[in-house]
A = this chain, B = another copy of it.
Amino acid sequence: MVASIYPDYPPALTSEQSDYLFSNVKDWSILNGLAVRPSSSFVSEKIDPSRSLAVTAPVTLFPSLFPRACFQEARAIQTAYNELYACIANDEDWLGEVVKELAEVDDYISNLWNVHQAVKKEGYVQVLQNCSLPLQDYMVHKDPSKPDAEPEIKQVEFNTIASSFGGLSAKVSALHKHLLSISAYPPTTPSLISDTSLPPNPSIASISRGIATAHKAYGRSKNNTQLPLCTLFIVQDPENNAFDQQALATNLLTDHSVLTFRLPFSAVLSHTSIPADSPSRPLIYTPPHSPRTPYEVTTLYFRAGYSPAEYNSPESWKGRLHLERSAAIKCPSILTHLAGSKKIQQILATPSSPHLSHFLSSTSSAACINRIRNTFAAIYPLDDTAEGKHAISIATDTENARGYVLKPQREGGGNNIYELKIPPFIKSLGDNSKKYRGYILMNLIEPPALRNSVFRNGEVRSGEVIGELGVYGVCLWRHCRSEKGEREILENWEAGHLLRTKGRESEEGGVAAGFGAVDSVCLIDV
């Protein structure tokens, strides 16, 4: 554990202060739709067969302290990151090489690539690529061996598909502001929670505007007879976190007059169709509740289909192919989905890698590229290269493994292995060094110690926590398939942020599973 760089926080509360804070969190959250459906372990199906109950989404009672400079840097480089995804997604040759290398260990990536190849062979009908909400995830890192070092942000992962909590995050920021305004946070010396330390968070409005922008860019109905237009959210079923998505759908309707429907990923083939006689391949959605009024889908927003476990039958892959070949703007397309894969992150973050400069040098300054590179935690392959050999020597050494984490290369490939558990794990793989290639070694990010209280499932738990800052981005570009990698960026903006906080004792797990919560930042100059 790294010593805290922050002042004593959060302030201690009397039981009356605690009651006041807690009861206002409970009431404000429900009043403002900051909610989830309770898990079946909290409320059994027998008690609530119609799934009508709701409970406050997992939230922290206090905004977590976060270095102001780190927050500003993460926001500032988001549009350059958006550009980077667009570049990678447009470079099919390069992506093809990566996939070839992975094919042996990762069926999922191969299958995604095959979907793209199949559509490419037939010919894409949609050149607009949308990536409303890639989410850059960072942790604050403070090198434990350098006490005087400034804290900095280090990339944990980047997500180009199904980034969640954008519909809740703005509300948590508003919740913490509300608690401040009703004096639910007792004054501290120095004053930490204040109007200037709680930045605005437009995630709902900004992400919705991203989807609406794609919707508008689609243009008129491409069907032989003009159809009404809609956007379609591809979702999981059941979905406890539907309110997160519904906040975006409601905003699309009220602020942009865009109608949204929700469709489980598993029901794609039964409820959507592409007319066989239409060369422009409009995606037609026929809502079960209104079979005589089909809609044409302008924009597909994936909140499902991102995990290998969801592709459990040939039908799943057929469904994904069906969507990909349609004229709908995909958020994301297969190529953008691939651009967000773990493997790409690993390639970019390998210290000697030339790829980052390769992608950005035509559009970004060397200084900007450097700022992005600075957010990478060093990632090493376990292979025959010089770097790979060095990494293997670390991973097999009980002393040196401290400060590292071993991660599987596969998407959804199981749990990470931390520090001193690495050498015995490597040993358990046996002598076959080919098996090593399924893993990468990464510098462990060391976030400074922090405390907070998390309210979830009706219970408050306090303790040491780790926060992960996500920055949302919206990017819409035109893929000019005639020349390799050529593109035209039409829209590109930073779209709000997300702080996810989890208990320090749990080494993995997000807000939706385990002891994690949606948080907001309380900026501090450290």
Contacts and interface: CB of A to CB of B under 8 A. Distances in A.
Nearest to A56: B52
Interface in A287-321: 287-291, 293
A288 B23 CA distance: 13
A53 B186 contact: no
B458 A49 contact: yes
A31 B33 contact: yes
Interface in A1-47: 14, 16-17, 19-22, 26-28, 30-33, 35, 38, 42-43, 47
A496 B455 CA distance: 36
A365 interface: no
Contacts of A43: 43, 47-48, 53
A268 interface: no
Contact of A458 (B16, B50, B246): B50
Contacts of A242: 27
A50 B459 contact: yes
B26 A38 contact: no
A370 interface: no
Nearest to A17: B289
Contacts of A273: none
A246 B27 contact: yes
Contacts of A21: 289
Given A253-B182, A458-B53, A28 B246 contact: yes
A453 to B, nearest CB: 13
Contact of A28 (B16, B26, B250): B250
A54 B57 CA distance: 12
Given A27-B243, A30-B35, A184 B289 contact: yes
A54 B28 contact: no
Nearest to A35: B30
A19 B289 contact: yes
A178 B259 CA distance: 11
A205 to B, nearest CB: 15
Interface of A: 14, 16-17, 19-22, 26-28, 30-33, 35, 38, 42-43, 47-56, 178, 181-184, 186, 242-243, 246-247, 250, 253, 259, 287-291, 293, 455, 457-459
Given A31-B246, A50-B458, 5 more contacts: A16-B289, A35-B54, A42-B47, A178-B253, A181-B253
18 contacts: A14-B289, A16-B289, A19-B288, A20-B288, A22-B50, A31-B33, A31-B35, A31-B246, A43-B43, A43-B53, A47-B47, A52-B457, A53-B53, A53-B54, A53-B55, A181-B253, A183-B259, A186-B290
